[in-house]
Structure 1
Amino acid sequence: MGSARTSHGTLDVPVIDLSGYRRGEPAAARALAAAVDDAARTVGFMQVVGHGIPAGTEAGLTAALDTFFALPMATKLASRPASTAVNRGYSPPRSERLSHSLGVYSPADLFEAFNVGIEAGEYPGLGLPASYYADNIWPAGAAGFRAGVERWFAAARQLAETLTGVFALALGLPAGYFDAFQSHSLDVLRMNNYLVPGDVTLEEGQVGMGAHTDYGIVTILWADPVPGLQILDRAGRWHDVLPAPGALLVNLGDLLARWTNDRWVSTMHRVVPPRDAGGRLVRRRSAAYFHDGDVDAVIACLPGCATPDNPARYEPVTVADHLTAKLTGSRGLVLNAAATHEAARLRPTD
């Protein structure tokens, strides 16, 4: 893995334009593949423009976020799943600890969230486990919420599949290589709300969302242009990241890092309590679309990503086993003992 670049103390998150690739232009595709490979080797985050998601679809998402999170707490709690093992519905503030997915203790995270995902019924005949492909929980009293969320979900899903096509090109793999691993991809959209009341006393080390790497293949993030999101460089320094106008933030997950034998990096990130220029706590919204691959897919080192001098660093793992260990940490609050490689990044290197 290379080193991420900084400019005037700010981490350089490259802007990646998909327009030419989406139009089928060969030269644009080659340039895009090179740019993606460079970003994936260094920072693991990209600012994606030319993604083709209409402004109206984004407006529908933000309206849905505002509608749901403005509901009374008692109404929101009615959409909480019966078990934390069900990655659907509402998660209230202080109910999760994302750093536990790394096996690292932290105080409870301050964000609240609402999750929707792919249901087993979308793929009749496959016998997909309901524990992973659970039915969605749609809240009462949130007019327009489902329609706005479903439109965004469909658009983000299409973009995720486009990006895996770019990844295959960037890695020198045959076109459509990843299709066999995402025919019934276990995708989840997590909508987050960060709003800390002014009279709350924060515990030492308490943040909006604890340090973590994303678990799956690729994440597509819509976020307010408000400070809060930070990513970690190889020297153990945190850097603020704001989305560029019209851009979506895209970052790589653990499964893609494992696939590439760490040629590409799954970047550590967190969300600190968002503040304005005067230091006052402010609201921040985001929506993360996690494209995680088929639950029964086996993730093993990709062709060309291991050599005699750099042998495969990871044992093959199924998507199900990897996600279970991670989610049992963040949602079940059981420290994950299988993430020592990722957790080591929290310690500065020489």
Structure 2
Amino acid sequence: MGKSDGIPILDLGPYRAGDAGALETLAAALRHAQENVGFFVIVNHGVPQARIDAAFESARRFHALPLDAKLALKANEHNIGYLPFKGSTTRSSKVNVNTKPNLNEAFFVKRDLAPDHPDVLAGKRYKAPNQWPAEIALPGFRAQVTAYCDALEALARSLLPLYARALDLPADWFAKAFDFPMYTLRMTHYPPVPEPEIEDNQFAIAPHTDSGFLTLLAQSDIPGLTVRLPDGTWVEPPLIPGSFVVNTGDLAHRWTNERFLSTPHRVIHRTPRDRYAVPFFFDCSYDHVMECVPTCTGPGNPPKYPPTTYPEYQLWFGSRNYAHIAPKAGENMAAG
């Protein structure tokens, strides 16, 4: 396993090929990355480069639409749809008091199911469909985005046995929790902005931790992401074409009783070029109750958080960072 600037590089090739001992070797490397950094980079992951390129092109095509067309799809209370430029201010940061809106616009997509799909009716996901631009406006956009989500869901699922073994659990331990996983694709556009300065507390995306279980971020050809290591230094992940940056989110952090780190990161965009990012946020099933992982608690180390579910935590997190997300009367807002 490689390492660059403190962020490990994990090669999935032997594991995907089924080589003897590859699962345990890779799980040990993942354990080290999660307990000491919270970020790692994966190579030989199996997602075709053409599929990744199509996702970036889809983001570019969407954000090239006229503003009126994008505003017609403005993000709703489920955070599905279009978030305008400077439409969010990150208030959940653990390392910085963020006071200014983020210098980006974004389009959010979740699992593409019709409102009458059996799993929707069973309460296994938000009861809200995606907001797609008309096919005539962006031919093939929906198909390309859905195909990318399918590919990344498959990749994320393939990592679950590694996470289980990294936590000294049976390889299939997470299978039930992720039998119908939730996910969100955020298609972000960072336009060129004259000299945004850290000293002015202005960021493309301000310092934050992700909210979910894990994030898969296809590498952009324009740097900007920086990660805050546990010693307080900020580093850029190694820029490896075709690779994915992977990090733990807050739900995995609390599910593992803080054994796995949820590491702060930010984006600073100072180039004259438009930058795009397509982070994929992967979570357990909508109705699964996340209680402390049994190998992460014991005498002298009781659970630090009460059980929670995906919708409960996402409502709390979203309402702090997005003005258009607000709890309805009676909804649980406890983060634990």
Q: Which residue of 2 aligns with 1:216?
A: 212
The answer to whether the 8 Å contact 2:112/2:146 transfers is no
Q: Which residue of 2 aligns with 1:124?
A: 118
The answer to whether residue 176 in structure 2 is matched with residue 180 in structure 1 is yes
Q: 1:326 to 1:125 in 2, by over 3 A?
A: closer
User: 1:239 and 1:16 mapped to 2: Cα distance?
Assistant: 18
Instruction: Tell me the TM-score normalized by structure 2.
Output: 0.88
| Residue 126 of structure 1: how far off its partner (Å) | 5.7
Instruction: Tell me the TM-score normalized by structure 1.
Output: 0.84
Aligned residues with identical type, % of pairs: 34
The answer to whether the 8 Å contact 2:224/2:267 transfers is yes
The answer to whether the 8 Å contact 1:226/1:242 transfers is no
The answer to whether residue 85 in structure 2 is matched with residue 93 in structure 1 is yes
Paired positions, count: 326
The one of 35, 39, 43 aligned to 1:45: 39
The one of 301, 304, 326 aligned to 1:310: 301
User: 1:197 and 1:314 mapped to 2: Cα distance?
Assistant: 40
In structure 2, stretches of 5+ residues that fail to align are: 328-332
User: 2:54 and 2:126 mapped to 1: Cα distance?
Assistant: 27
The answer to whether residue 13 in structure 2 is matched with residue 22 in structure 1 is no
User: 2:82 and 2:324 mapped to 1: Cα distance?
Assistant: 16
Q: 1:70 to 1:165 in 2, by over 3 A?
A: same
Q: Which residue of 2 aligns with 1:275?
A: 270
User: 2:19 and 2:78 mapped to 1: Cα distance?
Assistant: 42
Q: Classify the secondary structure of the residue corresponding to 1:90.
A: strand
Q: Which residue of 2 aligns with 1:230?
A: 226
| Residue 335 of structure 1: how far off its partner (Å) | 11
The answer to whether the 8 Å contact 1:106/1:210 transfers is no
Q: Which residue of 1 aligns with 2:104?
A: 111
CA deviation map 1:128-148 (0-9, x unaligned): 459825201111312221122
User: 1:234 and 1:200 mapped to 2: Cα distance?
Assistant: 25
| Residue 23 of structure 1: how far off its partner (Å) | 1.8
Q: Provide the aligned C-alpha RMSD in A.
A: 2.9
The answer to whether the 8 Å contact 2:203/2:267 transfers is yes
The aligned amino acid for 2:66 is P
| Residue 100 of structure 1: how far off its partner (Å) | 4.0
CA deviation map 1:4-34 (0-9, x unaligned): xx97xxx321111111111222311121011
Q: Classify the secondary structure of the residue corresponding to 2:235.
A: strand
Q: Which residue of 2 aligns with 1:266?
A: 262
User: 2:92 and 2:242 mapped to 1: Cα distance?
Assistant: 33
Q: 1:242 to 1:72 in 2, by over 3 A?
A: farther
The answer to whether the 8 Å contact 1:101/1:329 transfers is no
The answer to whether the 8 Å contact 1:227/1:275 transfers is no
